[in-house]
Amino acid sequence: MDFKQSKRRQVFEFLSDFQGQFGYPPTVREIASAVGLASPASVQAHLKSLERDGLIERDPNKPRALKLNHPTEARFSSELNNEFPGSVSIPILGRVAAGTGVLAFEDQEGELMLSRETIGQGDHFALKVRGDSMVEMGIFENDWVVARVQKIAQVGEIVICGIFGDEATVKVLSKLGKVVELMPANKNYQPIRANHEDVSIFGKVVALIRSFA
């Protein structure tokens, strides 16, 4: 498997995450929106490339019929190391764009330098933790959480999300459907429940950074 094109990697990962969550593949427009491609034609080009390399299989008679063929773990890890040597700059964001469902990357408050071996593939951002709602999972105020940019997540994962257009919050995704439930890791706090359309997932937490200075 050749994953030298990071955008093609993002398409494949979004396909995998979306199908794992919903049981069916996303539309071309959903893929374009999720990975930042400007046109459906660009998505189709990446899909054809993935299909040519045997990573996906499509039925020409059924537009949304798609099968993913995941690479072996050993080969996948090797390709990650080849593609992402060294360190990468992760933006520290002060807020999210209220009500838009997108991250305000222009509102950076600094950056963290982390190795790709630590955070893995994809685009990432960091937020400074405020409050104590996640202390029982070892996430404390003034820690930095590093999240991979993605708009979907699995139940049980720690996510960064916006609710009712408010600023970002760090919680465990405990229920997904028409009603989304976000669970704090502190017995003094109650779960947050909201309609699906009122919740925007911005990313999945993949790392925690703490300073002892």
> Which H/E stretch holds residue 76?
helix 73-83
Task: Report angle CA 78, 82, 85 to the nearest 5 degrees.
Answer: 120
Token representation of residue 43: 């998505």
**E strands within 116-191?**
124-128, 144-149, 158-163, 169-175, 179-183
Pick the catalytic residue from 133, 151, 200, 204: 133
Whats the size of the chain, residue-wise? 213
Catalytic residue among 16, 42, 171, 200: 171
CA dihedral 173, 176, 180, 182 (to 10 degrees): -10
CB 103 within 8 A of CB 93: yes
Question: Measured between alpha carbons, how far is 86 from 94 in angstroms, rounded to an integer?
Answer: 26
4 catalytic residue (yes or no): no
* Residue 73: how many other CB atoms lie within 10 Å: 8
* 3-class SS of residue 200: strand
Indicate if 171 belongs to the active site: yes
Which residues carry out catalysis? 133, 171
